[in-house]
């Protein structure tokens, strides 16, 4: 009888990161884009509940902005669309992570197009909220400081849009590395 072959060194010589561990056969996980998408999407869901503007000692968050926007006949669905767009991209990021952990590929076109559209909706809604506040404050002749919530919505929408474009261009974002 011949002795069994020696055990192979762990992937990466024992120094590999959890995001590059082997999935099955010749495939490795590539979770950077999906994890980034999940993080920015979670922040995007929170952004309407953070201050959008501050006037003197008071601030108004995105969720409460809906009433002000309605009073001035402005587009009042911005905070809701930011949350919905962020939830869509959050679910997509979790699906990609789950599929790669199971050694499965996710549709590059499906994830890329859906993330791109959801990112553009989030980015556009944050832009509409910014424009609405700009017009309201100009009309009322009030100076205000922009809050973190509005900028966080813009950054999250931009991140999702970029990840959507990258997912369409780079297969490893959704399918792992061969």
The answer as to whether 2 is a domain residue is no
* Matching residue, tokens 């884009």: 33
| Segments in the chain below pLDDT 50 | 11-23, 178
Instruction: Indicate the number of domains in the chain.
Output: 1
| The predicted structure's pLDDT at residue 27 | 57
The answer to pTM > 0.85 is no
Q: The domain spanning residue 146 has which CATH number?
A: 1.20.140
| The predicted structure's pLDDT at residue 18 | 42
Which residue, 106, 99, 89, 81, is CA-closest to 171? 106
| The predicted structure's pLDDT at residue 65 | 93
Which residue, 59, 40, 69, 57, is CA-closest to 135? 69
The answer as to whether 167 is a domain residue is yes
The answer as to whether 18 is a domain residue is no
The domain containing residue 118 runs over which residues? 26-175
2-46 pLDDT per residue, tens:
766 665 555 444 444 444 444 455 556 778 889 999 999 999 999
| The predicted structure's pLDDT at residue 16 | 43
The answer as to whether 90 is a domain residue is yes
Cα separation, 31 vs 106, in Å, equals 12
What tokens appear for 131 in the block? 């424009």
| The predicted structure's pLDDT at residue 30 | 78
The answer as to whether 5 is a domain residue is no
106: helix, strand or coil: coil
| The predicted structure's pLDDT at residue 164 | 93
| The predicted structure's pLDDT at residue 22 | 44
| The predicted structure's pLDDT at residue 25 | 53
Is residue 165 within 8 A of residue 116, CB to CB? The reply is yes
Which residue, 151, 18, 17, 40, is CA-closest to 93? 40
What tokens appear for 34 in the block? 């999906």
Any bridge partners for residue 59, and if so which?
54
| The predicted structure's pLDDT at residue 171 | 79
Q: What are the DSSP E strand ranges found in the chain?
A: 22-24, 27-28, 51-55, 58-61, 145-146
Any bridge partners for residue 22, and if so which?
28
| The predicted structure's pLDDT at residue 177 | 58
CA distances for 130 relative to 72, 74, 77, 91, 133, angstroms? 14, 11, 13, 26, 5
| The predicted structure's pLDDT at residue 4 | 65
What tokens appear for 156 in the block? 């999250």
| The predicted structure's pLDDT at residue 123 | 94
């Amino acid at each position: 009888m011949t002795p069994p072959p020696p055990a192979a060194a762990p992937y990466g010589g024992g120094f590999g990161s959890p995001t590059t561990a082997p999935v099955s056969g010749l495939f490795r996980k590539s979770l950077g884009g999906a994890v980034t998408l999940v993080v920015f999407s979670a922040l995007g869901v929170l952004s309407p509940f953070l201050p959008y503007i501050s006037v003197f000692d008071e601030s108004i968050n995105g969720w409460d902005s809906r009433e002000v926007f309605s009073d001035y006949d402005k587009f009042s669905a911005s905070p809701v669309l930011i949350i919905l767009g962020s939830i869509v991209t959050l679910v997509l990021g979790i699906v990609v992570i789950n599929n790669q952990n199971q050694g499965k590929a996710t549709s590059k076109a499906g994830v890329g197009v859906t993330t791109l559209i959801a990112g553009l909706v989030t980015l556009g809604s944050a832009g509409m909220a910014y424009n609405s506040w700009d017009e309201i404050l100009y009309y009322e002749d009030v100076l205000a400081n922009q809050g973190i919530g509005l900028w966080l919505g813009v950054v999250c929408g931009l991140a999702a849009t970029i990840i959507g474009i990258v997912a369409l261009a780079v297969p490893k974002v959704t399918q792992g590395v061969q």
